[in-house]
Amino acid sequence: MKHIERIGPLWFIRGQNRGRYPYCHSIFLPEAGILIDPASDRETLTQMRDEGLVKAIWLSHWHEDHFKDLDLFDDLPFFIARKDAPPLSSLEEFLAGYDSEEDFAYWQQVLLTEFHFRPRYPAGYLIPGTTVVLPGTRVDVIAAPGHTPGHVALFFQEGEILFLADYDLTPFGPWYGDHNSSIEDTLASLRYLRNIPARVWLTSHETGIFTSSPGELWDKYEGVVYEREKRLLQALEKPKTMEEIVNLWIIYGRPREPRAFFAFGERAHMKKHLKSLIDRGLVTHKNGLFSRAD
Ligand SMILES: [Zn+2]
pLDDT of residue 196: 98
Q: Give the model's pLDDT for residue 2.
A: 73
pLDDT at 1: 73
Helix 101-113 vs helix 259-279: crossing angle, to nearest 10:
120
Ligand 1 center–CA 208 separation, angstroms = 14
Domain range annotation of the chain: 4-214, 231-292
- pLDDT score recorded for residue 43: 97
CB 161 within 8 A of CB 199: yes
Q: Tell me how far the alpha carbon of residue 221 lies from the centroid of ligand 1, in angstroms.
A: 15
Where helices occur in the chain by DSSP H, the ranges are 16-19, 42-50, 91-94, 101-113, 183-194, 216-235, 242-246, 259-279
Distance 82 CA to ligand 1 centre (A): 16
From CA 74, how far away is CA 40, in angstroms rounded?
Answer: 17
Ligand 1 center–CA 187 separation, angstroms: 15
Question: How many angstroms does the Cα of residue 287 sit away from the middle of ligand 1?
Answer: 34
Please enumerate, as own/partner, the contacts of 46-49 that have beta carbons within 8 Å and a separation of 24 or more: 46/72, 47/1, 48/1, 49/73
- Output the CA 16–ligand 1 centroid distance in Å: 16
Burial class (CB in 10 A: 0-12, 13-18, 19+), 142: buried
Q: Per DSSP, what are the bridge partners of residue 152?
A: 143
Give the distance (Å) from ligand 1 centre to CA of residue 238. Answer: 33
**pLDDT value for 260:** 78
Q: 3-state class of 260 per DSSP?
A: helix
Q: How far is the CA of 256 from the centre of ligand 1 (A)?
A: 20
**Distant-in-sequence, close-in-space partners of 257: CB < 8 Å, separation ≥ 6:** none
Listed in sequence order, the residues at least 6 apart from 49 whose beta carbon sits closer than 8 Å to its beta carbon are 72, 73
Q: Any residues with CB less than 8 A from the CB of 156 and at least 6 apart, and which?
A: 8, 9, 10, 137, 138, 139, 162, 163
Helices 216-235 + 259-279 axis angle, to 10: 80
Q: How far is the centre of ligand 1, averaged over its atoms, from the C-alpha of 166 (Å)?
A: 5
pLDDT in tens, 254-287: 998 888 788 889 999 999 999 999 999 999 999 9
Neighbours of ion ligand 1 (CB under 5 A): 63, 166
Between CA 96 and CA 111 the distance in angstroms is: 14
Kindly give the distance from the C-alpha atom of residue 61 to the centroid of ligand 1, in angstroms, as a whole number.
7
pLDDT for position 102 = 78
Cα 165 to middle of ligand 1, angstroms: 8
Distance CA 229, CA 250 (A): 9
Q: What is the distance in A from the centroid of ligand 1 to the CA of 66? A: 7
Per-residue pLDDT, 22: 95
- How many A from CA of 271 to the centre of ligand 1? 18
> What's the pTM value of the predicted model, to 2 decimals?
0.96
Q: What is the CATH number of domain 4-214?
A: 3.60.15.10
Q: What is the pLDDT of residue 187?
A: 98
What's the gap in Å between 182 CA and the centre of ligand 1?
13
Q: What is the pLDDT of residue 104?
A: 84
List the chain residues with pLDDT less than 70.
none
